[in-house]
Amino acid sequence: MKRRLYTLLISFLLSFPAVLSVYASTPADSTKVTGNDIVQRAMKYIGVPYRSGRMNPKVGFDCSGFTSYVFKKENILLTHSSRSQFTQGIQINDCKELHKGDLVFFSGSRNSSRIGHVGIVTEVNHQTGSFSFIHASRTGVCVSSSTEAYYQKRYVGACRVLAV
């Protein structure tokens, strides 16, 4: 009977990946992870080169490998796919409501809304909704702005995986 209840509980939790990734993967004795914690951790990797399919600072990162690596270092599990990371959190519809540590998503091309890139919010202008974000770009890990034409045209949405 206990085994059946345990199996049902695990199945239930797995059906809510955002809840599982934020709460179940965080050790019970750890302090609450903040957006500042995530951003501080991410900034340590500025300049690490871009490497497709990688998530290791010694070798390099791709965009989702970078975000999953940074969050994993704070005991929060994210998948290694920008498209699936978009479904792991609570959707944020207004950029003025972004916080440090939120994930922001961009399409792979101007003509598509299909997610192909992800970054971590580092700063937000709550009056305009513009934001800065750290990400693994083709030139390596760097900070960019949502006001840059390239990213402005490709912005798809944002989600929050941290409790606020």
Q: For residue 93, what are its two tokens? A: 């519809």
Quick check: is 99 catalytic? no
Number of helices and strands in the chain (H, E): 6, 8
Q: For residue 137, what are its two tokens? A: 């770009």
Which of the residues 80, 99, 126, 135 is marked catalytic? 135
Which of the residues 80, 95, 99, 117 is marked catalytic? 117
Quick check: is 135 catalytic? yes
Quick check: is 117 catalytic? yes
Q: State the DSSP code for 3.
A: H
Measured distance CA(22)–CA(89) in Å, rounded: 9
Q: For residue 109, what are its two tokens? A: 């091309």
Residue numbers annotated as active site: 63, 117, 135
